[in-house]
């Protein structure tokens, strides 16, 4: 059995920079047509020059492969109308990080108070720039995303023309918000469709499955699977693929992030097939995102075949999800 995916899109991707960029960017380009590139470099991407320069570095790292980096700015609440009007032609979205919730988010927003954010949110609404949000509070690790739910609702109600994308959602609570507010959308990762906290910390501790937001309960994964597998139109694939070198994953304090870029498409095909939902995979990995972002990707067809595929143990010094394990679908060479 084979299927062909048209222009798969990764709507949440960390490519990092320098040596790591050179390792991971070509791997995304192998199976994706384009990807939303997260701006949490050190320092974060906050100027048009930085956007353009980072985009060029990504293109250089990718070489001949067809892949469009869809750039983003790191949210700041003092971006002016003039700046964002100029920025708009270079970016696809702006990413908001609450301060301190994840890797390189220290320069993020310290208060979710609407009034402090109103000016930028109104400009973004007018210019039709989507807002991507890492939706976690600084609360207890299992409650952070659910606690952020009321913030999402405040954003949605107060800025009805702003497209708000709840990034890498992990809870039933966030899934429920999709049908409650017209202007809320979501991305979901591979790993949150596969795992719960039991996989991370229920048996042995698994640093390579540790990410933020942390994987939650079975009922949360069920809710995520329901909207992903059904091709819910407000739900997009976003890998949140986040490479860390081995020594940062297996030391006394291990960094958050699962590296899925090179196996995301085959892992999704395996999952959708197992659940009898292959016909909705195209919507999840591309069509929904095209509509939400009003984006027409270059045509890039990825042929997948139902043949066992053993995941590499590592890519350079980065260990992927399912390292050394078998998946039931392969990318046809």
Q: Using the rule CB under 8 A, is 140 a contact of its own copies?
A: yes
On whether the CB atoms of residues 171 and 214 are closer than 8 A, the answer is no
Of 10, 220, 240, 287, which residue is the catalytic one? 240
User: Annotated catalytic, 78?
Assistant: no
From 164-172, 197-205, 265-273, 283-291, span contacting its own copies (CB under 8 A): 197-205
Rg of the chain over Cα atoms, rounded to whole angstroms, equals: 18
Q: Using the rule CB under 8 A, is 323 a contact of its own copies?
A: yes
Q: Which of 200, 271, 285, 304 binds its own copies (CB under 8 A)?
A: 200
What is the full DSSP assignment across 278-301? GGGHHIIIIIHHHHHHT--PPP-E
Output the smallest distance, CB 38 to its own copies, in A: 19
Q: Using the rule CB under 8 A, is 305 a contact of its own copies?
A: no
Output the smallest distance, CB 189 to its own copies, in A: 17
CA distance 256 to 234: 26
Q: Which of residues 224-253 bind its own copies (CB under 8 A)?
A: 250-253
From 40-48, 67-75, 210-218, 262-270, span contacting its own copies (CB under 8 A): 210-218
Kindly tell me the burial class for residue 202, based on how many C-beta atoms sit within 10 Å of its own C-beta (0-12, 13-18, 19 or more).
exposed
Chain centre distance of CA 76: 20
From 104-112, 123-131, 140-148, 229-237, span contacting its own copies (CB under 8 A): 140-148
Q: Please identify, using beta-carbon distances, which residue of 197 and 223 lies nearer to its own copies.
A: 197
CA separation (Å) from 333 to 30, 31, 303, 330?
10, 11, 8, 9
Site size with its own copies, rule: CB under 8 A: 28
Residues paired with residue 235 on neighbouring β-strands, in sequence order: 186
Output the smallest distance, CB 104 to its own copies, in A: 13
CB neighbour list of residue 287: distance below 8 Å, 6 or more residues apart? none
């Amino acid at each position: 059995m084979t299927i062909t995916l048209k222009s798969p899109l990764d709507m949440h991707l960390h490519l990092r920079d320098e040596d790591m960029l050179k390792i991971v960017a070509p791997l995304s380009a192998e199976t994706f047509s384009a990807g939303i590139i997260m701006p949490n470099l050190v320092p974060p991407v906050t100027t048009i020059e930085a956007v353009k320069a980072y985009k060029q570095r990504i293109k250089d790292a990718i070489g001949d492969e067809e892949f469009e980096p869809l750039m983003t700015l790191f949210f700041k609440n003092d971006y002016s109308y003039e700046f964002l009007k100029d920025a708009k032609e270079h970016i696809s979205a702006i990413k908001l990080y609450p301060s301190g919730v994840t890797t390189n988010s220290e320069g993020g927003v310290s208060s979710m108070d609407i009034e402090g954010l109103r000016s930028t949110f109104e400009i973004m609404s007018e210019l039709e720039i989507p807002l991507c949000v890492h939706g976690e509070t600084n609360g207890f690790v299992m409650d952070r995303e659910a606690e952020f739910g009321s913030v999402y609702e405040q954003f949605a109600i107060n800025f009805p023309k702003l497209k708000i994308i709840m990034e890498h959602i992990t809870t039933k609570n966030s899934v429920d918000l999709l049908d409650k507010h017209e202007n809320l959308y979501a991305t979901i990762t591979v790993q949150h469709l596969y795992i719960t906290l039991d996989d991370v910390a229920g048996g042995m501790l698994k640093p390579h499955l540790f990410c933020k937001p942390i994987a939650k309960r079975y009922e949360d994964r069920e809710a995520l699977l329901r909207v992903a597998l059904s091709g819910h139109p407000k739900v997009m694939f976003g890998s949140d693929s986040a490479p860390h070198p081995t020594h940062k994953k297996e030391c006394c304090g291990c960094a958050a992030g699962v590296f899925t870029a090179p196996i995301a498409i085959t892992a999704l095909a395996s999952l959708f097939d197992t659940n009898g939902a292959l016909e909705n995979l195209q919507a999840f990995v591309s069509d929904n995102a095209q509509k939400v972002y009003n984006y027409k990707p270059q045509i890039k067809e990825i042929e997948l075949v139902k043949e066992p595929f053993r995941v590499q143990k590592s890519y350079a010094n980065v260990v992927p999800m399912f390292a050394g394990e078998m998946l039931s679908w392969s990318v046809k060479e």
